Amino acid sequence: MIAILIAQLLIFIVCSAINAADVAPPDGIILINNNVTTTYSRNIELLIPAQDDNEIVDMCISAGMECTQWEPYRKSKYAQLLGSNTWYSFCARVRDGAGNESVMKCVVIQYIGD
C-alpha cells in the first residue's frame, strides 16, 4: 500500500514538473476552406492547425476577439453561414496541457450565396 502511494506521488511530482516547465504558448492559425476568401456554399470547414512542445488540448472558436467557450481540440470543424452577400469573421485560440494559450488568430470570408 505504501509503495503504491509513493509511486502515485512520484508520478504526480513528475507530471507537475513537466507542466511547470512548459511556459511557451502553442502556435496556431485558422483557415477557411483551405484559405479562400469567398465562397458560394454556406457550408464551410474551419481548419485549425496548431503546434506545441506538448499536446494541444483545447480550442476556442469565436466570431470575435473574445474567447468565451473552450472545447476539446480538433484539427477541423464545420460551420454553416447564414445570410448571403455578407462577410464573416472567425477567430481561434488554442491551449496546451499546461494552460498556455496561443495568440488569437482571425480570418474573414465572404459568403456570396448558393
**pLDDT tens per residue, range 46-72:** 999 999 988 999 999 998 888 889 999
Q: Is residue 5 part of a domain?
A: no
Q: Is residue 72 part of a domain?
A: yes
Averaged over 81-102, what is the pLDDT? 93
pLDDT of residue 36: 93
Grid cell digits, residue 104: 488569437
pLDDT of residue 5: 58
Specify the number of domains making up the chain: 1
Q: Please state, in angstroms and rounded to a whole number, the distance separating the CA atoms of residues 88 and 80.
A: 11
**60 alpha carbon, distance to own chain's centre:** 5
Task: Give the confidence band of 85 by pLDDT, cuts at 50, 70, 90.
Answer: confident
Is the pLDDT at 18 greater than 60, yes or no? no
Half-sphere exposure of 104 (CA within 13 A, CB side): 14
Q: Is residue 4 part of a domain?
A: no
Q: Is residue 39 part of a domain?
A: yes
Instruction: Quickly count: other Cβ atoms within 10 Å of residue 98's Cβ.
Output: 19
Is the pLDDT at 2 greater than 70, yes or no? yes
Q: Which helix (H) or strand (E) holds 72?
A: strand 71-72
Residue 53 sits in which domain range? 24-111
pLDDT of residue 84: 82
